[in-house]
Structure 1
Amino acid sequence: MKARIGLLLAAALLAACSNLAPIGQPDIAKVISITDTHAICGVVPVNMLYEDSQGMRHSMSYRVLGDGCHDN
């Protein structure tokens, strides 16, 4: 019985993950804009607007360590 439950859970997880985009490098031909982090200290969200090699615009969000962390 436990084995069947495990198989059902694994199948459900596989089905849920099958719609995810493959992980890899994005097709970035040109960066249009990116969030300025020069005055922020700490981990902050960044948004980047870019154009791919086909001329389509996309946005990407990720987190970076801001550039405003300085020893005084």
Structure 2
Amino acid sequence: MALDIRVNRDLCMGSGQCTIYAPKTFAQDESTIAFVLDPDGGTEEEVRDAISACPTGALSLAGEDDD
């Protein structure tokens, strides 16, 4: 089952950390803003590492964000 990954595109500053930690899950658009390429592209550990590495907190898993 795919993880329900959230990207807050308003918070994303385009650092690319998500693409380093989970390159099969995340990509960046032409403005370097992150998006989910494939929610099944990496392991849960890789996705959680990418979320932790995000400097702006733009990434989260549904039900685990602070909203």
Please give the range of the TM-score, normalised by the shorter of the 2 chains: under 0.3
Give the number of the structure with larger relative contact order, counting CA–CA contacts within 8 Å between residues 6 or more apart: 2
**Who wins on radius of gyration, i.e. which is larger?**
1
TM-score (norm 1): 0.20
Q: TM-score scaled by structure 2?
A: 0.21
